[in-house]
Amino acid sequence: MPYFICPNCKDRSIDADRAESLLDDQAVACQHCGFGFLFELMDDYYPAPGSGLVACDAGGRVLAAGRGVFELTGYRDADLMGKDVVEGLGLAGFEAEQSPVRLALEWGVRRLGETLELQTRGGQRKNVMADFFPAYDADGGLLVALAPRT
């Protein structure tokens, strides 16, 4: 059974046929907040409290930044859209060849519990815990879950 999560409100759901209705093949949208698409996961996932989700395309460019991203980073959706997620959020704490974004996209594997730093819009460095999920649909892509690390 496919698991889905809304990149905006983090609402989790399941959907057997991956379509909004029986009559067309429009992608499943969020029934909770009305966001235009859901991200398919291999297993159910519970985002940490205070986390924010960032949906990216197959090249790692930001498509949408959900609730919680602004509170964590100071960046709004429009500030990040189209930017490389690593550069846009100033992610650091890994070797270039070990980028969790690159590994998740290239190998199609989840990267959970990555201890990273990001740079807020105000220029501060902030410790975060990040989870990276590759997309399982034909479009490809990536979902990044960022949570404050204490």
Q: Cα torsion for 100, 60, 89, 27, to the nearest 10°? A: -110
Domain 3-148 maps to which CATH number in 3.40.50.1820, 3.40.50.720, 3.50.50.60, 3.30.450.20?
Answer: 3.30.450.20
pLDDT at 68 over 80: yes
pLDDT at 21 over 80: no
Q: Domain extents for the chain?
A: 3-148
Q: Tokens in use for 93?
A: 């704490």
Q: Higher confidence at residue 80 or residue 31?
A: 80
pTM for the model: 0.88
User: For 32-46, 67-81, 83-97, which range has the lowest pLDDT when averaged over its residues?
Assistant: 32-46
What pLDDT sits at residue 77? 92
CB 64, CB 16: distance < 8 Å: no
Q: What is the mean pLDDT of the chain?
A: 89
* Strands of 142-148's sheet in order across: 62-65, 52-56, 142-148, 125-134, 111-119
- Confidence class for position 22, pLDDT limits 50, 70, 90: low
Mean pLDDT of 16-44: 74
